[in-house]
Amino acid sequence: MYEKWSENNIEKTNNMEVKKINRNRIFRLIYKNEKLSQQEIASRLGMSLPTVGQNLKILQNEGLITEDGVFESTGGRKARAISFIKDAKLAMGLDITKNHLSLVLVDLSGEILKSTRVSKVFENTPDYLKEIGVLVNRFIDDSYIDKSKVLGVGIAVPGILSDDKQMVVDSHALGLVDSNGPDFTKNISYPCFLSNDANAAGFAELWNTETVKNAVYLSLSNSVGGSILLDNQLYSGDNQRSSEFGHMTIELNGRTCYCGKRGCLDAYCSAFVLSNSADGSLPEFFNLLKKGGKKQEEIWKEYLSYLAVAINNLRMLFDCNVILGGYVGGYMEEYLDELRILAAERNTFEPDGSYLKVCRYKKEAAAVGAALLHIERFLSQV
């Protein structure tokens, strides 16, 4: 008797699973296309019209899809167009840096609905953590959104995380070395994920791109970092320390890096290398460079030459696109051709540097990527 019940139960579970998988496939197809008819969904997924119809009803009741006009027809009844509701769910991203906190709100499509950046110097104190909670709540309140739509808060931190991704175990930028780190999620009343900031930014760059599977993201901010995406998955390494590109040795016995070693890429290609010549302001550096400032031209020339070496090394290692991001990446569009030539000059196999790209999120990429991790998880579970 018991076994029979058990078998039935397994069958029930399997049916449930199949139904859920079908529903997920239907939703993801609608998500990837602007508008689709029920017939088109059925034919593209090889499902029957009633199966698609039942699932559409459920998705509509859950507030995830809507009827959005009709398709023109050559005869007979016009087919109803179905699309997903972009703001059916939302996610927040919080980027923690040494001197700032950035907050973004994104919808299911990854569009940024709101963003803000506040000056706040990091302190490993309960007051700082309290302030984070206050800021998150204020940000949500000021957005006038239905709070139940918020999937959670993705927190990007400039450091190495524990294996379970709950703690920062090492962050030179925040002065947390060999520590258990503070609990950044403590005063946030939404589900939270922690991610490394450069990993999150790299994730944002490749999110929802169909054609690119592998990429290296090189983040050029006040510290240099990055991420490696292989087959659309972040590669973390054995110790969560992969893609610490800032500490690749680029010059034997070169400049001293903030890590204490000599010749690290960070000492040559961090945003500080540029902004230090312009009162600490990166926009001002590029302003002076455009105006033909001799000092800035000299610094920029050297900067690009070291950057080209690093880029070529990454290309040799990974044989995939290299995407430039971070503070400096946001300015790189107009210097891209020059940099491609410099990188190509070093390349053993390729005559051009077309593999080199600039980031699509010019600002707040880390916060956006951290938020998108929540969106991605939701999409995989619909």
In the complex, what is the shortest distance from the CB of residue 261 to Zn ion, in angstroms, rounded to a whole number? 5
**Partners of 194 in the beta sheet?**
155
In the complex, what is the shortest distance from the CB of residue 269 to Zn ion, in angstroms, rounded to a whole number? 11
Beta carbon nearer to Zn ion, 93 or 263: 263
Beta carbon nearer to Zn ion, 74 or 253: 253
Residues 92, 114: Cα–Cα separation, whole Å: 10
Rounded to the nearest 10 degrees, the angle between the axes of helix 294-318 and helix 336-346 is: 50
In the complex, what is the shortest distance from the CB of residue 266 to Zn ion, in angstroms, rounded to a whole number? 5
Q: Would you call 138 helix, strand, or coil by DSSP? A: helix
Residues 267, 257: Cα–Cα separation, whole Å: 5
* Residues in 234-273 that interact with Zn ion by CB under 5 A: 247, 257, 259, 261, 264
Residues 26, 52: Cα–Cα separation, whole Å: 7
Q: What is the DSSP pairing of strand 112-119 with strand 100-107?
A: antiparallel
Beta carbon nearer to Zn ion, 257 or 358: 257
For residue 304, state whether it binds Zn ion (rule: CB under 5 A): no
In the complex, what is the shortest distance from the CB of residue 265 to Zn ion, in angstroms, rounded to a whole number? 8
For Zn ion (CB under 5 A), the number of binding residues is 5
Beta carbon nearer to Zn ion, 326 or 330: 326
Placement of tokens 């590669």 in the chain: 235
In the complex, what is the shortest distance from the CB of residue 257 to Zn ion, in angstroms, rounded to a whole number? 3
Q: Which amino acid is at 241?
A: R
**Partners of 229 in the beta sheet?**
215, 234
Beta carbon nearer to Zn ion, 247 or 374: 247
Beta carbon nearer to Zn ion, 105 or 307: 307
Residues 15, 10: Cα–Cα separation, whole Å: 9
Residues 7-36: x where in contact with Zn ion by CB under 5 A, - otherwise, as a string: ------------------------------
Tokens, residue 232: 């659309």
In the complex, what is the shortest distance from the CB of residue 117 to Zn ion, in angstroms, rounded to a whole number? 27
Beta carbon nearer to Zn ion, 126 or 175: 175
Select from 223, 211, 207 the least CA-distant residue to 327: 223
Q: Tell me the DSSP string of 29-83.
A: HHHHSS-B-HHHHHHHHT--HHHHHHHHHHHHHTTSEEEEEE---SSSSPPEEEE
In the complex, what is the shortest distance from the CB of residue 173 to Zn ion, in angstroms, rounded to a whole number? 12
Q: Name the residues that contact Zn ion, by CB under 5 A.
A: 247, 257, 259, 261, 264
